[in-house]
Amino acid sequence: MADEAGGAPKAADKETYDDRPFHSDGLPPEVRAPLEAFKGAEPPSPAWFRDAIAQEPERGFVESLGSKLEVLTWGERGKPGLLFVHGNSAHADWWSFIAPFFAADYRVASMSLAGMGASDWRERYAFRDFAEDAEAVARAAGLYEGGVKPVYIGHSFGGGQVFFAAARNPENMRAAILVDTGFGGPPPEVEAERKKRMEQIRNIPTADRPSRVYPTLEAALARFRLMPPQPAGNPYIADFIARRSLKRAPLPDGSGEGWTWRFDPTMWEKLDRTGMTPQLGAAIATPMVHIYGAQSRIIERRKSGEPSFFPKGMLEIEIPDSQHHIMIDQPLALVAAIRAILATWPPTTPSA
């Protein structure tokens, strides 16, 4: 989950969206603004990363429920399918340095959920719609053409969507791999700060009051941060993600163009939560595995007594020295874990 945010508004800016990050007071610079020190320059990156992103995906759109959804694909049609789904406020390119590792053996797709990335924004969002979107993308991308149903892989909020889709429509997927996924909403202190801000301000972004526009790319990158709060384990990955989180937009004073975030900032206010929480202990027919970070906030909350909706006895794999954003903290360990899972599991079922 990413939370791209800006500085505090001045008193005269009452009609400007307050895009301060949640729970930002007192955070160290490497958490509050992990890219600020690079002053707009790309951090040094290793050869494996450069080789991975050099494998450019095919970029396109799939229509679902009247919306155009951004889709990236790698690998040949006719091979088994993998669908990657990102976290909240993120986008398909969060998987662009992970997906190429699977392209030799799989037809791989990464989607931007509605309201995020380059996908269309909607007047309302719902878990059942996200589930329908995922199937539409998987079918249009050819993920069912390999003789078996695809495996869905989702991180954080995207893992929640994969879980919901697996529970609602188990016939659509062979298995689900959840990556650091929880069901309790934002961390308690983040939710408390969100509610406090909602009581204090009424200028939530609309078509007339969009998200803040930054005058330079450097200024925008300096405001990128992760949610839940954590350092960017590998700054070159955070920088890659942040640059693809932005789009050009007119500056408020009409002096030219600047940069703003691509996601719909009002998604949480538009989200229909009806039926989004699974029943505790409910039987799930879809085979599932959960990969989590050893220092993840989600795991901390579970250990403190927050209920888990995962099926009893579900296999869970811990990634050492990683927090919530495993693809940033330990990308190669995540690749290895997914590869090992796919090599030995799940059972094969014909595609529909």
Quick check: pTM over 0.95? no
Give tens-digit pLDDT for 38-71.
Answer: 999 999 999 999 999 999 999 999 999 999 999 9
**More confident: 22 or 284:** 284
What pLDDT was estimated at residue 184?
Answer: 59
349 is a domain residue: no
Give the structural domain span for 242.
1-343
What pLDDT was estimated at residue 298?
Answer: 82
Q: Quick one: pLDDT band at residue 278, thresholds 50, 70, 90?
A: low
* Distance between CA atoms of residues 182 and 180, nearest Å: 7
149: amino acid identity, one letter: K
CA neighbor of 285 nearest in space, from 182, 127, 176: 176
Residues of the chain with pLDDT > 90, as a percent, come to 68
Alpha helices in the chain (DSSP H): 29-32, 47-54, 127-140, 157-168, 188-200, 217-221, 235-243, 267-270, 297-303, 326-329, 331-344
Average pLDDT for the chain: 86
* Distance between CA atoms of residues 119 and 143, nearest Å: 20
Mean pLDDT of 326-350: 92
Q: Which pair of tokens denotes residue 41? A: 């320059």
What pLDDT was estimated at residue 3?
Answer: 45
Cβ 146 vs Cβ 107: under 8 Å? yes
What pLDDT was estimated at residue 24?
Answer: 54
Domain harbouring 217, CATH code: 3.40.50.1820
| Lookup result for tokens 């001045």 | 10
Highest mean pLDDT among 97-101, 162-166, 182-186, 306-310: 97-101
What pLDDT was estimated at residue 299?
Answer: 80
Name the region of 308 (left: φ>0; alpha: ψ -120 to 50; beta: rest): beta
Give tens-digit pLDDT for 66-112.
Answer: 999 999 999 999 999 999 999 999 999 999 999 999 999 999 999 99
321 is a domain residue: yes
351 is a domain residue: no
Q: Which pair of tokens denotes residue 10? A: 């001045």
352 is a domain residue: no
What pLDDT was estimated at residue 208?
Answer: 41
What pLDDT was estimated at residue 191?
Answer: 53
* Distance spanning both ends of the chain, measured CA to CA: 32
Task: Give the number of other Cβ atoms within 10 Å of residue 296's Cβ.
Answer: 24
Total domain count, the chain: 1
Q: Quick one: pLDDT band at residue 272, thresholds 50, 70, 90?
A: confident
> What does the CA dihedral 301, 166, 282, 322 come to, rounded to 10 degrees?
-20
Cβ 223 vs Cβ 7: under 8 Å? yes
Mean pLDDT of 265-288: 77
What pLDDT was estimated at residue 142?
Answer: 98
Measure the CA angle with vertex 93, ends 98 and 343; round to 5°.
25
What pLDDT was estimated at residue 276?
Answer: 57
In SS3 terms, 115-171 reads as CCCCCCCCCCEEHHHHHHHHHHHHHHCCCCCCCECCEEEEECHHHHHHHHHHHHCHH
pLDDT value at 177 more than 70: yes
Cβ 82 vs Cβ 109: under 8 Å? yes
* Distance between CA atoms of residues 260 and 314, nearest Å: 40
348 is a domain residue: no
Q: Quick one: pLDDT band at residue 200, thresholds 50, 70, 90?
A: very low
Task: Give the number of other Cβ atoms within 10 Å of residue 333's Cβ.
Answer: 18
Q: Quick one: pLDDT band at residue 292, thresholds 50, 70, 90?
A: very high
Give tens-digit pLDDT for 202-250.
Answer: 444 444 445 789 999 999 999 999 988 899 999 999 999 999 999 999 9
296 is a domain residue: yes
Cβ 233 vs Cβ 329: under 8 Å? yes
183 is a domain residue: yes
pLDDT value at 171 more than 50: yes
15 is a domain residue: yes
